[in-house]
Amino acid sequence: MRNSIAAFLLVASIAAASVRAQDVRQLGPHVHGQTRVQVVVDGDTLDVSLVIPGADAVGFEHPPAGPVEAAAYKNAVAKLRVSRRWLQPSAAAACVPVSVEVSPHGYGQDAVVGMHAELEAIYRFRCSHVSALDAIDVRLVDVFPATHTIVADVLLHDGALRQELDPGMVRIDLKP
Ligand SMILES: [Zn+2]
């Protein structure tokens, strides 16, 4: 009996440690087909960040092995970097992209066998007419056809709203 309690405690403490490790990475296991988007509007600054499962963007979730996989990985990162075609704030708001940062998780030395891998991208815009910023169109499925749903969290100065975009929907509304 004593042994089984000790074993239970050991297993419980290992489980707790691995949960803490995940918290540190801030990346829970994603759902393939689902991209998470966060939109923050602060003054004239619009930040859009996105986490797309590697399975959807790259086609695999491990460090690239061989030239074919290396090319697929590079291609996915390049598509995320050039957002003009698929990430469009309301035209009337006149938002200009000022920076983009694409961070891979699980495609290099941080890879863990059996763990998911994903790409994170952060876009910053400055908007001349932020009051006209009503929506953002995210045509992610045009560049990554495996995208099924987009779950968007929008943080505005007067509240937050969550929207789930099913296939065929591309618009994130920024006005409640
Ligand atoms: Zn995955």
For residue 89, how far is its CA from the centre of ligand 1 (angstroms)?
A: 28
pLDDT at position 176: 72
Asked whether residue 8 falls in the same domain as residue 25, the answer is yes
pLDDT at position 17: 43
Asked whether residue 15 falls in the same domain as residue 38, the answer is no
CA–CA separation, 116 and 165 (whole Å): 23
CA–CA separation, 83 and 100 (whole Å): 9
Domains contained in the chain, number: 2
Range(s) of the domain holding residue 3? 1-29
Token pair, residue 124, equals 């910053």
CA–CA separation, 85 and 77 (whole Å): 15
Asked whether residue 48 falls in the same domain as residue 4, the answer is no
Q: Is 141 helix (H, G, I), strand (E, B) or coil?
A: helix
pLDDT at position 13: 43
Q: Summarize pLDDT for 41-87 with one digit per residue, the tens.
A: 999 999 999 999 999 999 999 999 999 999 999 999 999 999 998 99
| Greatest distance between any 2 Cα atoms in the chain | 70
Residues near ligand 1 ion, CB 5 Å cutoff: 53, 55, 61, 116
For residue 60, how far is its CA from the centre of ligand 1 (angstroms)?
A: 8
Q: Summarize pLDDT for 125-144 with one digit per residue, the tens.
A: 999 999 999 999 999 999 99
Q: Summarize pLDDT for 1-29 with one digit per residue, the tens.
A: 444 444 444 444 444 444 434 434 445 67
Asked whether residue 88 falls in the same domain as residue 105, the answer is yes
Handedness of CA 157, 140, 105, 164 (dihedral sign): positive
More confident residue, 158 or 106: 106
Asked whether residue 97 falls in the same domain as residue 14, the answer is no
pLDDT at position 19: 41
Asked whether residue 12 falls in the same domain as residue 54, the answer is no
For residue 5, how far is its CA from the centre of ligand 1 (angstroms)?
A: 34
Among residues 67, 66, 137, 76, which one has the least CA distance to residue 104?
76
For residue 123, how far is its CA from the centre of ligand 1 (angstroms)?
A: 23
Where are the strands (E) in the chain, listed by range? 34-42, 45-53, 87-89, 95-105, 118-127, 135-138, 149-156, 159-165, 171-173
For residue 105, how far is its CA from the centre of ligand 1 (angstroms)?
A: 11
Asked whether residue 108 falls in the same domain as residue 137, the answer is yes
Confidence band (pLDDT; 50, 70, 90) for 157?
confident
Q: Where are the alpha helices (DSSP H) in the chain?
A: 2-25, 54-57, 66-81, 140-143
For residue 148, how far is its CA from the centre of ligand 1 (angstroms)?
A: 14
For residue 33, how far is its CA from the centre of ligand 1 (angstroms)?
A: 9
For residue 56, how far is its CA from the centre of ligand 1 (angstroms)?
A: 8
Asked whether residue 68 falls in the same domain as residue 20, the answer is no
The pTM score is 0.82
For residue 82, how far is its CA from the centre of ligand 1 (angstroms)?
A: 23
Asked whether residue 149 falls in the same domain as residue 85, the answer is yes
